Amino acid sequence: MEDLPVGRNPAASLTDDLVVEILRRLPVRSVCRSKCVCRSWRDLIADHEHRKKLPQTLSGFFYTSFSEERCPFTRRTTSPTPLISPTFSFLPQCKEVIPLDCCNGLLLCRCLQLDGVSKFHYAVCNPATKEWVMLPDANWAIGENRIACLCFDPTISSHFHVLEYVEDEAEYVTGVEIYSSKTGLWSLHVNGWNDVVVVSHSVNRRSVFLNGFLHCHAC
């Protein structure tokens, strides 16, 4: 067998068909992580034709409801058996779980506690793998109707960020708190805009995280 040149990546000699054949034998979680290996692997996984051969990810919609279910979920497929339970039983005991935002497979929830001491905590979870993390309390934002957004791009990093707007009594944005899963801490960033900024609290005008930028409706 011919030796590869020193310093050459062995994976570079694999054809696209071989890479797809390897990836299709991996669990969904490992396939998602493989997007970070290199751009060519990311493009192979994202390709519509190749995705049919790879393990299928959870695809559907979470929505709020007045039923007893914590996070009702509607699948896009026609399979009669749901992949996840809407009760979110894998989360720690909470009085109520309210979905706030989702981004690339992760879900940001507001968990109302049973102890009656803490009003609520933020939790970020992966409904497909049932992994979750409870965020520490933020330090600067106040009020019951805080606006929180989830930012996550698995093609860039395995870490996520949660952004929470800091508002004054008139609901003018004075800054943002940002939680990093890498450090496990919140940091405060003071508003550097000269104009008065108000972020919409309407559920129909939520923000969207795309290509590294958070797009929101403000006035």
Query: For the segment 17-65, what is each residue's pLDDT rounded down to a tens digit?
Result: 888 777 777 766 677 777 787 888 788 777 767 666 665 555 666 666 6
What is the reported pLDDT for 18? 83
Three-class SS state of 180:
strand
What is the reported pLDDT for 100? 86
Cα–Cα distance, 23 to 31 (Å, whole number): 6
Element (DSSP H or E) covering residue 161: strand 161-167
Closest of 135, 128, 132 to residue 73, by C-alpha = 128
pLDDT band at 76 (very low <50, low <70, confident <90, very high): low
218 vs 214, residue with greater confidence: 214
How far, in whole angstroms, is CA 50 from its chain's centroid? 24
- Assess whether pLDDT exceeds 80 at residue 104: yes
Quick one: how many helices (H) and strands (E) in the chain? Answer: 4, 12
Spell out the domain ranges in the chain.
Answer: 10-51, 87-215
Cα–Cα distance, 124 to 170 (Å, whole number): 29
What is the reported pLDDT for 35? 78
139 vs 153, residue with greater confidence: 153
Cα–Cα distance, 97 to 24 (Å, whole number): 34
Element (DSSP H or E) covering residue 208: strand 208-210
Query: For the segment 151-184, what is each residue's pLDDT rounded down to a tens digit?
Result: 998 878 889 999 988 877 777 777 889 999 999 9
